[in-house]
Structure 1
């Protein structure tokens, strides 16, 4: 894999992960303060800590799996791309898990009735939690960690990884937030009026 291909992979992942929290209404991370849900308070905190532990485990595994030695060649390139795909699939599953938790008010019949009522009245269905800006910002930071880990693993795979200081992380976080600006504009600045 060439350096140019690795850079384009990281840029594409950064563009998707920076905008995803603004484009999706469902949660990408199980924050304990999220409204609704059937879990008691302590279990929600445990689930939030388990999510952060899963994120740390994914980061460590990606650095070991994808960041391993890469000597080149056709078979090795295919194996590398398979490892990269497996790592991205696990990250996608990690982000999809909070959306699979359902509340008691979100049973299939209530969701269908609520969606029909929402089409007519313009309101949200009962039980559909609205993510706050703070929740979206934290999800953007989770995306930054995911993309940063992937970029560092690709750098490890291509050769020596260079140690970075805090300035590097400040600049890349600012660039990541700029990549998320289209999603921010779509969510907060474009007014959607009911017809």
Structure 2
């Protein structure tokens, strides 16, 4: 949503239970004439601070919160006019100007699933004790797509995995070259404009 101001004074319904749904509920509550958040569970998966803010908005009467419920139908003719929800076996129609579904991503391997990789629960098994390599030599997997004991789906972990994989790939492509790890503060970073950014050199004074 690039123009939040488009929702000013409008009736808006958001569906979802993650950070995106919570964040937009908090933000748009200041703009809309009516805002409803619908989630299929009573529990939310977002940051605790965001959950508390949403609950506060609900208690203050600034938003409507409907849980557990699911959106089952949309009504309109060229323009949305209402949605239908189902809550505990009972259906209800709610008039609205905008419906914003924020359900996140569905992890699917797609064609990769047919490559002969060893899979476990729709994820690629890797050797985390070595270099995150798969059962096929020269094929690696990093990030949410892989799995191993005590796997944590965090961006920080993905960066770590990628750094190890790059090191392993370099050694595979250059078996007779010694790999020397350099910090960007030492070697510098090439800018998009072709220039090279290097940290200011400092030294120790002797007395």
Same fold (TM over 0.5): no
Of the two, which has the highest radius of gyration?
2
Q: TM-score, normalised by structure 1?
A: 0.23
Higher relative contact order (CA closer than 8 Å, sequence separation 6+): 1
Higher helix share: 1
